[in-house]
Structure 1
């Protein structure tokens, strides 16, 4: 069975998402890192976090579960996402997955922004990085 040609590429989807979501620059998020009203959400795979490190204090929410974790009616809801007075900034490695994620969450009525360049420029711009503790 042959697949029909795509009617929209992944890059087109990201570009469309970026026209309608809030994008945060790396330097701006670094400056907001100590703000208790900002919650940084890392949607990268656990192996990416282990290999590259993560933003201190960030919440890890795997991309495949995020719609369920933010939905209070879902059996998978996580209370960290039920704080109406917080600003959520999602990130991935390069900003593609997080752009699509935030567009989807926005469609659900969940307000969020994303880190425009992702984790790729975080450390180079002076952002702190932590690594998971090795397991015994």
Structure 2
């Protein structure tokens, strides 16, 4: 197994990953949905309704509750945060890093935006 796959497995082992069909319920319950997809992917595939767009390269600074650069919508370490990337790989690593920063309820969307899009197409 490659080193990155081992790192990904370790990250996911501590996440309570959200399946695509549960994302709307999480948002309705107050979870902060963070879309880290690059602008090119959002333009190509569409926006994720209700999500806050945060570039991956500044994610930790914008979500760390102790950072002077945090977004005002970040309220504390017990806030439910769900990170969404395109296919659910970089979001797993990002969510684990957010947990390391003290955001203990941070997680990601299993399968990313593409899984959510497929679920939405099948449900509609």
TM-score (norm 2): 0.84
Larger radius of gyration: 1
Match of 2:109 in 1: 115
Secondary structure of the 2:48 match is coil
Match of 1:11 in 2: 5
The 1:36–1:10 alpha-carbon spacing in structure 2 relative to 1, beyond 3 Å, is: same
Deviation of 1:86 (Å):
4.3
Secondary structure of the 1:125 match is helix
Q: Would you say how many aligned residue pairs link Structure 1 and Structure 2?
A: 119
TM-score (norm 1): 0.77
Provide the alpha-carbon RMSD of the alignment.
1.9
Match of 2:71 in 1: 78
Find the partner of 1:102 among 95, 101, 105: 95
The structure with the largest helix share of the pair is: 2
In 2, Cα distance between the equivalents of 1:114 and 1:72? Answer: 18
In 1, Cα distance between the equivalents of 2:79 and 2:66? Answer: 20
Where structure 1 has 5 or more consecutive residues not aligned to the other structure, the ranges are: 1-7, 128-136
